[in-house]
């Protein structure tokens, strides 16, 4: 089974075991790839979008299907403002704890929902990007999904979801460990809200001053 071991900086050894997953973008350009899991929700996703817009930054949002259904206007805003959309299952389903059939059906339900949105002046969002909730994926699931989706993992995990971490440690993780091509994980979730509100503006400011651009996957 694949478990994205919870270290701030992903081990190259772990990444090499699953080469069909994207852990980091191979580039020498000063590009960072911010990703946001678990939204969209009204309590934090609009804040994230406002900050990204302020810094002319693009990002990738791995959305939970039931949150898309509950907050369609926020989801449409993500698309309208030029960010990428990824599939994060319909129910934030843990692949380790469910049969493959249940897991695949949950992913497909989210994929159909994402594809159903048509935004003015925008193509249909294509849910070809997938991030497994908790970074947990059975090897059988990995093998089945890699031909249908680009499975996105990460290079830098900020731990904004961890209630034991404070906002300054989240900021430090992002600033210290991010490098050209890094895929950085934040969450637009209630648990992460106070830490994202503190760290995200500072991350955007810090790396913009260093000449980095924030791109979508």
| Residue that has been written with the tokens 């090897």 in this structure | 139
Region 163-173: mean pLDDT is: 96
9 DSSP assignment = B
Which domain, by its residues, includes 73?
2-214
Q: How many domains would you assign to the chain? A: 1
Vertex 158: Cα angle to 156 and 161 (nearest 5): 135
- Whether 157 and 147 have beta carbons less than 8 Å apart is answered as no
pLDDT digits (tens, 9 = 90+) for 54-95: 999 999 999 999 999 999 999 999 999 999 999 999 999 999
pTM, rounded to two decimals: 0.93
The answer, yes or no, to whether the previous bond of 119 is cis (omega within 30 of 0) is: no
Q: Given this model, what pLDDT does residue 119 score?
A: 62
74 DSSP assignment = H
Q: Which residues are CB-contacts of 35 (< 8 A; sequence separation ≥ 6)?
A: 59, 60, 61, 62, 86, 131, 152, 154, 183, 184, 185, 186, 217
User: Quick one: angle between helices 45-54 and 72-80, nearest 10?
Assistant: 20
For 47, the token pair is 């804040």
**Residue of 37, 106, 155, 160 with catalytic role:** 37
Mark whether 3 is an active-site residue: no
pLDDT digits (tens, 9 = 90+) for 20-48: 999 999 999 999 999 999 999 999 999 99
- Whether 41 and 63 have beta carbons less than 8 Å apart is answered as no
**Residue of 38, 83, 88, 187 with catalytic role:** 187
Mark whether 37 is an active-site residue: yes
Residue 86, domain CATH: 3.20.20.370
């Amino acid at each position: 089974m694949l478990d994205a071991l919870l270290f701030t900086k992903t081990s190259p050894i772990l990444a090499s075991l699953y080469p069909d997953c994207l852990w980091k973008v191979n580039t020498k350009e000063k590009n960072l790839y911010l990703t946001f899991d678990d939204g969209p929700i009204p309590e934090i996703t609009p804040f994230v979008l406002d900050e990204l817009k302020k810094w002319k930054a693009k990002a990738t949002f791995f959305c939970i299907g039931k949150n898309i259904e509950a907050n369609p206007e926020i989801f449409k805003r993500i698309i309208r403002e030029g960010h990428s959309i990824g599939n994060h299952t319909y129910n934030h389903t843990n692949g380790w704890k469910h049969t493959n059939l249940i897991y695949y059906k949950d992913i497909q339900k989210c994929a159909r929902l994402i594809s159903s949105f048509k935004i003015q002046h925008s193509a249909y969002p294509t849910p070809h990007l997938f991030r497994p909730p908790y970074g947990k994926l059975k090897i059988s699931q990995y093998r089945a999904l890699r031909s249908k989706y680009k499975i996105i993992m990460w290079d830098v995990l900020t731990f904004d979801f961890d209630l034991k971490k404070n906002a300054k440690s989240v900021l430090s993780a992002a600033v210290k460990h991010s490098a050209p091509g890094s895929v950085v994980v934040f969450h637009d979730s209630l648990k992460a809200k106070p830490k994202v509100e503190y760290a995200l503006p500072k991350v955007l400011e810090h790396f913009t001053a260093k000449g980095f651009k924030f791109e979508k996957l």
